[in-house]
Amino acid sequence: MSPDYRLYLVTDERLSDEALCHVVTQAVEGGVTMVQLREKQGKLRRFIQRGQLLKTILAGTEVPLIINDRVDVALAINADGVHLGQSDMPAEMARELLGQDKLLGLTVESMAQLEQAQSLPVDYLGISTVFATPTKTDTCFEWGIAGLELAQSCSRLPLVAIGGIDLANIEQVKATGVAGIALVSAICGAAEPRLAARELLARI
């Protein structure tokens, strides 16, 4: 069965363990279809522990757990996949280590990268960044809606849009035809993540 990328939660590393579990539990109840654990600053041990916490929460659901950046962490906890950036491990190497059954995502930050990625052994592409966002400020290109439409028309791989997407613009993003929409603050920063996920899903 092909993965369901529709509403893709990327976690906020500023959340405590307790808050992380609360947000992910509620977001899954609200309908998120994929969860990525993103830990940029902390120690490796903590990354693994938080991955194990999320594995427990997601066990018995159909929602895959994706690990940001780190193939070793994904293998150590037997997560469902990895999301790589352009400066992380090359996709071919990651695929070799992960095998064919794990999901592999790759960020693309330009049309040239999007074209190069078409022949890589990846399952989906993260389109970075759709709109400028305070959640991640080291992005180098803003696709906007027109750029997303162009990317969509040039890609054989499913696209996941990310960056600055919320309740106000999610319908416009979805209308470009992308397979999925990834968000951090619209769910992690919501007073009620279950309700937020439900409302976002209803709009797409």
Binding site for ligand LCLJCK34 (CB under 6 A): 8, 10, 36, 38, 40, 68-69, 83, 85, 105, 107, 126, 128, 136, 160, 162, 182
- The closest alpha carbon to 162, from 20, 49, 1, 7, belongs to 7
Whichever of 69 and 109 has its CB closer to Mg ion, that residue is: 69
The one-letter code for the residue type at 149 is E
CA distances (Å), 148 to each of 52, 138, 161, 165, in order?
Answer: 34, 19, 8, 13
The reply on whether position 152 binds ligand 3NM by CB under 6 A is no
φ, ψ at 171 (rounded to 5°): -70, -40
Binding at 164: pick from Mg ion, ligand 3NM, ligand LCLJCK34, none (beta carbon under 5-8 Å per type): ligand 3NM
Please tell me whether the peptide bond between 129 and the residue prior to it is cis, using omega within 30 degrees of 0: yes
The alpha carbon of 139 is separated from its chain's Cα centroid by a whole number of angstroms, namely 15
The reply on whether position 110 binds ligand 3NM by CB under 6 A is no
Which residue matches tokens 């994904």?
A: 74
The reply on whether position 33 binds ligand 3NM by CB under 6 A is no
Whichever of 97 and 204 has its CB closer to Mg ion, that residue is: 97
Binding at 165: pick from ligand 3NM, ligand LCLJCK34, Mg ion, none (beta carbon under 5-8 Å per type): ligand 3NM
